[in-house]
Structure 1
Amino acid sequence: MRGKLFLTGGSGMVGRNVLAHPLAANWDILHPSSRELDLMDASAVEAYIAAEKPDLVVHAAGKVGGIAANMAAPLSFLDDNLMIGRNVIMGARKAGVRQLINLGSTCIYPHAAPNPLREEMILTGELEPTNEGYALAKVVALRLCQFIRREAPEFQYKTLIPCNLYGPHDKFDPQKSHLLPAIIRKVYEAKLSNEPAVEIWGDGMARREFMYVEDLATLIFKAADNLEDMPELMNAGVGTDHSVNDYYASVARNIGWEGRFVHDLSKPVGMKQKLCDTSRQTAWGWQPETSLDEGIAKTYQYFLETL
């Protein structure tokens, strides 16, 4: 056993893939449910960490959603994530936990930042308005980790910044999900009902980078074993992106739907491009292994088997 690992967000997409990963067997993983531990309760979180004394905290919990969800409830995306991040990170610090992996998001990059997005661009400009609340909370968590290390370098509190994720245990509700699972659901339902067309928000030219979530789980365990050597901030991505139109076409090929796409130009599309610079990740010695077509095929199979 490598030690005791406290994982937040164990019932979420990232958390469930971490728990299902073969390398999880090397750790004694604590992953209390929200009923067992309310991460919004600072005193409860502090007491739990102090009592369990984990060797490592992996903070993967949070309120997440796509553009529609973020625009509908910016207050809760800011407030909930702000409290959760602060409670976990400061609870670990007060308990003397020396190692913590904080999961950020590429939404923390400025709206107008040039692509590919490099870690040093964070906090150099205004955030994307469609997910500003969530992004602000993630920036605060990142800064907490940096300030803790600045005051006490022996605390290895570091942040991984994943690109968009997809895969097993994702949400497939178009009102709540991210782009790829929403596309899978929409195209699948179009095939079932013999719909001749599927709507795409905007012109479909916005570009996004997606990584299969099992690859992120692999990276988290590599980081857990080599946290001192990992950069303080590190993007986690595939280093290439595709247009929204490309993702719709790829999903349609996998599902076998041969209809046409129509564009609603009145709908918001978020940032025109969001591509990670993966130089630090590559120099550190890691790259994801799952291709886009392979990942979409696996995700579609999961969707058919579970939903």
Structure 2
Amino acid sequence: MKVLLTGGSGMVGRAILAHDAAREMQIVAPTSAELDLTDRSAVMAALAAEKPDVIIHSAGRVGGIQANIAHPAAFLSENMDMGFNLVLAAREADVPRLLNLGSSCMYPHDAPNPLQEDSLGKGELEPTNEGYGLAKVAVARLCAFTTRERPDLAYKTIIPCNLYGLYDKFDPAVSHLVPAIIRKLHEARENRAETVEIWGDGTARREFMYSGDLADGVWTAVKRFDDLPGCMNMGLGYDYSINEYYEEAAKVIGFNGGFTHDLSRPTGMKQKLLAVESQTAFGWQPQTLLRDGIARTYEFFLDVVERGAA
């Protein structure tokens, strides 16, 4: 099977490429320098030349709360351009299958938890990442509309929960919660700090899955594409508070200090937990425990520090 993977140099893309199932496939994974997904003519030319059996779309502009608040227009326009160009070019090239990776940011901020797939598009998005969420919703709908109009094309969307893992971003300006915690606690331990500050009161709950587990889910979906629903959540089915992520990471890293809370800082949605009934019916579930995933990610972070890249 010939697979075209976008975002192959990102955290999710690298996890997909590192999975054992990738060895069974013929994979084309152009970098952004090799294929600019915001250039529709370039995307159309690439798909016409490669003629993949399936596309896995994992590329995108991503970042944490700070980055999303600072650059909402870029998160909206760049992610929408990339997704629309790829889906429309795939349709033009008659690519039979496309697996689009969405985001839990697609769900309305007031939707009841656990978040069910049928609540998409039925309310306002969380303001702190609205641009990113809008783009992801639009691309998912374009996939669904394409399949509705062209039943010979199966374009489906997986909606992962929040992710962390190897090749994550540890820069505080763009990092998500778990890598940000890892860096903050590592530096606190190195500097022998007595306390570490947590934004908000730490009671907001989040569901973070190890990226290697998502890669396993993606390849399972590719191999069993006909069994996959048109839109399906992919997550743990349970969550932890922000305080619990700090506590678990502190145990792994060896930080023995205390925690303070800055109540003036934004915390986002109080909870964002995905419903996993469809995933369970599909027959897949993640395997990595939180402590094990944090330990693997911390080992990678230490390698990054040694290389002077952090």
| TM-score normalized by the length of structure 2 | 0.97
Q: Identify the residue that residue 93 of structure 2 maps to in structure 1.
A: 95
Show the counterpart of 1:265: 263
Unaligned runs of 5+ in 2: 306-310
| Separation in 2, partners of 1:66, 1:306 | 20
Equivalent residue letter for 2:197: E
CA distance in 1, matches of 2:48, 2:221: 23
The superposition leaves residues 23-50 of structure 1 with CA deviations (integer Å, 9 ceiling, x where unpaired) of 1001111011111111110000011001
What is the rounded CA distance, in whole Å, between the counterparts of 2:12 and 2:134 in structure 1? 21
Q: 2-side partners of 1:65 and 1:33: how far apart?
A: 19
Task: Supply the AA of the counterpart residue of 2:54.
Answer: L
Cα drift, residue 122 of structure 1: 0.4
Q: Percent identity?
A: 58
Which residue is 1:15 aligned to? 13
Q: How does 1:79-158 map to 2 (within 5 A)?
A: 79-158=77-156
TM-score normalised according to structure 1 size: 0.98
| Structure 2 residue corresponding to 1:201, chosen from 199, 202, 215 | 199
- After superposition, the CA RMSD in angstroms is 0.6
- AA matched with 1:160: I
State the aligned residue count: 305
Post-superposition CA distance 1:40-91 (Å, at most 9, x none): 1000001100111000000000000000000000000001001000011111
Residue of structure 2 equivalent to 1:217: 215
Which residue type is aligned with residue 118 of structure 2?
E
- Spell out, residue by residue over 1:150-181, the C-alpha distance to the aligned partner (whole angstroms, 9 max, x if none): 11122110000000001101001122110000
Equivalent residue number for residue 188 of structure 1? 186
| AA in 2 matched with 1:305 | D
Q: Is 1:24–2:22 an aligned residue pair?
A: yes
SS at match of 1:218: helix
Q: Which amino acid aligns with 1:191?
A: R
Q: Which amino acid aligns with 1:51?
A: A
2:113 maps to a residue whose letter is: N
SS of corresponding position for 1:263: strand
**Which AA in structure 2 matches 1:198?**
V
1:163 aligns with 2:157: no
Task: Report the Cα offset of residue 306 of structure 1.
Answer: 2.6
Spell out structure 1 runs of 4+ moving beyond 6 A.
none
Cα distance in 2, alignment partners of residues 155 and 37 from structure 1? 23
Q: What letter matches 1:168 in structure 2? A: L
- Paired AA for residue 219 in structure 2: F
